[in-house]
């Protein structure tokens, strides 16, 4: 048996722990393991395909990033091809991926990625490839799994930032607005905001009104609390408003969202008269050492993915359905996007201890 691993989409702490566990579990079965570099690029002659041995994965479980490299512009079914006039056109190179994998004697692949990458896996499986998926995203927005690895690390990174902002906000009687990742889902903002005792949490799932946000800040001031912490997910938007976008994205890439923190900081200062500062936590949330929880989950996913290959569960992904790791069809996980449920107990608890969602 010869299997190949690849990592696609934005990186997340824990990818290397998945790779290590999958490689060691597969080698233990006497299989051969290859690593496809930078998503599917290695299978398109745009990057390498390397042998993965126990030496290749030594000492990597605690490292952020991915030893295989990754990309969020690597969809082989919609590969952005530069035209002679400098523009880009999407071309379908999935046939090349399948042919090259066959030529390299790859019997099956384990592909680690978020909803975009899992969608590619489903398409390639429909075309006959043997793929098992492993869900990954710091945003925790893949359905069918209680959580994805990388999320816990990102929450803890955001939490540390919120804790630090608290002391400086309080010293200066300022409002601090911190923007965290979460294009479509506000899990990082919600969890880090609640754990970090934020005063206002803004998420894509609950449209906000600036008047309500300022009401909360003014009410705190009236009660003698002259500073406030606002945690906002990059994909949050005001009622009837648009999600903000940052500069142009690269060909083949989703639009980049963000910039909301500075916009609302400006409005808060204008409306409340309180000195307001903002910061964007950005890719710090994607880097660094995975937490123990993420390392363990990633390791369990890696081992389970190899067992799924053994059981020929093509088109399935591993998932946490506590307390077990199970496999579910990728199509099922992709049926709907996972988002914060506004009636969830985490939201209820946050509201009942006085946190405003600006609604
Ligand atoms: O991994 C998902 C995510 O963290 C989003 O929340 C964010 O918008 C995006 O990645 C940014 O990715 P990049 O800057 O790598 O394109």
Best residue among 12, 66, 113, 183 to mutate for probing ligand 1, ranked by most atoms within 8 Å of CB: 183
- Note the pLDDT of residue 248: 75
Do 309 and 132 form a contact (C-beta atoms < 8 A)? yes
Residue 3 in this model has a pLDDT that exceeds 80 = yes
- Note the pLDDT of residue 315: 98
Q: Any residues with Cβ below 6 Å from ligand 1, and which?
A: 10, 72, 137-139, 181-183, 234, 256-257
Q: Which residues are catalytic?
A: 139
Share of the chain above pLDDT 90, in %: 92
Average pLDDT over residues 289-300: 98
C-alpha 35 to ligand 1 mean position (Å): 23
- Note the pLDDT of residue 286: 97
Residue 129 in this model has a pLDDT that exceeds 90 = yes
- Note the pLDDT of residue 251: 81
Largest CA distance in the chain: 71
Q: Which helix (H) or strand (E) holds 316?
A: strand 316-321
Sort strands 49-51 and 316-321 into parallel, antiparallel or unpaired: unpaired
Atom of ligand 1 lying closest to residue 188 CA: 6
Residue 75 in this model has a pLDDT that exceeds 90 = yes
Residue nearest to atom 10 of ligand 1 (CA): 10
Helix (H/G/I), strand (E/B), else coil: 317: strand
Look at the chain and count its residues. 359
The H-assigned helical ranges of 208-329 are 210-222, 260-272, 292-310
- Note the pLDDT of residue 40: 97
Q: Higher confidence at residue 81 or residue 343?
A: 343
Q: For the residues of 180-208, what is the DSSP string, one character each?
A: E--SS--HHHHHHHHHTT-SEEE-TTS-B
Residue 246 in this model has a pLDDT that exceeds 90 = no
Residue nearest to atom 13 of ligand 1 (CA): 10
* Residue 193: pLDDT band with limits 50, 70, 90: very high
Q: What is the pLDDT of residues 194-228, one digit of tens each?
A: 999 999 999 999 999 999 999 999 999 999 999 99
pTM surpassing 0.85? yes
Atom of ligand 1 lying closest to residue 12 CA: 1
- Note the pLDDT of residue 50: 98
């Amino acid at each position: 048996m010869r299997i190949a691993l690849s990592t696609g989409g934005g990186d997340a702490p824990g990818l290397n722990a998945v790779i290590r566990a999958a490689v060691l579990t597969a080698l233990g079965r006497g299989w051969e393991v290859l690593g496809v570099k930078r998503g599917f690029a290695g299978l398109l002659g745009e990057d390498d395909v390397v042998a993965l041995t126990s030496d290749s994965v030594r000492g990597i479980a605690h490292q952020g990033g991915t030893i295989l490299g990754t990309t969020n512009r690597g969809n082989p079914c919609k590969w952005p091809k530069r035209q002679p006039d400098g523009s880009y056109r999407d071309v379908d190179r999935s046939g090349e991926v399948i042919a090259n994998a066959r030529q390299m004697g790859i019997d099956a692949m384990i592909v680690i990625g978020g909803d975009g990458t899992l969608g590619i896996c489903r398409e390639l499986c429909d075309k006959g490839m043997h793929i098992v998926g492993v869900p990954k995203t710091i945003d925790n927005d893949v359905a069918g799994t209680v959580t994805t690895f990388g999320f816990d690390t990102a929450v803890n990174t955001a939490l540390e930032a919120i804790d630090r902002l608290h002391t400086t906000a309080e010293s200066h009687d300022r409002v601090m607005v911190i923007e965290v990742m979460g294009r479509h889902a506000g899990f990082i903002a919600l969890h880090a905001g609640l754990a970090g005792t934020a005063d206002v949490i803004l998420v894509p799932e609950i449209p906000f009104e600036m008047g309500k946000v300022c009401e909360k800040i003014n009410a705190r001031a009236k009660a003698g609390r002259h500073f406030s912490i606002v945690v906002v997910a990059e994909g949050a938007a005001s009622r009837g408003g648009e999600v903000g976008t940052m500069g142009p994205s690269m060909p083949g890439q989703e639009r980049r969202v963000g910039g909301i923190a500075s916009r609302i900081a400006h409005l808060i200062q204008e409306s409340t008269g309180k000195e307001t500062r903002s910061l964007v936590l950005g890719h710090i949330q994607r880097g660094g050492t995975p937490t123990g929880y993420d390392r363990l989950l990633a390791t369990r996913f890696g081992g389970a993915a190899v067992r799924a290959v053994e059981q020929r569960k093509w088109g399935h992904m591993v998932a946490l359905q506590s307390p077990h790791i199970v496999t579910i069809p990728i199509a099922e996980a992709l049926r709907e996007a996972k988002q914060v449920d506004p009636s969830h107990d985490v939201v209820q608890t946050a509201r009942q201890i006085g946190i405003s969602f600006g609604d």
